[in-house]
Amino acid sequence: MNDTPATDTPAAGTHTIHLQRVLRAPPERVYRAFLDASALAKWLPPHGFTAQIHELDARVGGRFRMSFTHFGSGHSHSFHGEYLELVPATLIRHTDQFDDPNLPGVLTVTIRLRAVFCGTELEVVQAGIPAVIPKEACLMGWQESLMLLAQLVEPEIPG
C-alpha cells in the first residue's frame, strides 16, 4: 500500500527500501521516539556510529538537521530534511537530503504506525536513495537502528 503522491516518485538511478517490524510498545511511544532529539540520537545511528542532532522542529513544515560520525574513523556525514506530514501515533513523512554534493537528490521517508494486539506494527519506506549507496547497506543500517529503537521503546520501566 502506497499513498505517496506521484510527485514523491524517486528519480531514476535511486533505490527504495521497505522495512517492517512489530514492536512491543504503544504507537504513541514509538511515534515520540522518531520526533524527540535525545531519543533519535540514542537509536537512529546504526552500529559503529554516533549522532548529533543540530536542529529538530517536529511540526509540519519544520526542519531537522543531524550528523552521524563513524566512531572508528571519525568520518562524519550530515543530512537535513523537512517534515511533510505528522499524524500522532500514526504517520510521519519527511524528506532527507545529504549535505555531501556527491550524494545528490531528495529522499522521502514514510513511517507508518499501526496498533496491533501486542504493540505497534512499524513500516518504513525510504525512497530516492542515491544509487552510489548500496541498497543492502541501507537495509542493514535500518535493521540495526530498528533493533536499537526496540531497546529504547519496549522496556516497561515503572516510574
Query: For the segment 61-76, what is each residue's pLDDT rounded down to a tens digit?
Result: 999 999 999 999 999 9
- The pLDDT value given to residue 137: 93
On the question of pLDDT at 2 being above 90, the answer is no
- The pLDDT value given to residue 72: 96
Domain span at residue 132 reads 11-153
Contact 114, 120 (CB under 8 A): yes
Task: Determine, yes or no, domain membership for 74.
Answer: yes
Task: Determine, yes or no, domain membership for 158.
Answer: no
On the question of pLDDT at 10 being above 60, the answer is no
Contact 116, 22 (CB under 8 A): yes
For residues 142-149, average pLDDT? 97
Task: Determine, yes or no, domain membership for 61.
Answer: yes
On the question of pLDDT at 7 being above 70, the answer is no
For residues 119-129, average pLDDT? 97
Total structural domains in the chain? 1
Bridge partners of 111, per DSSP, are 92, 124
Task: Determine, yes or no, domain membership for 22.
Answer: yes
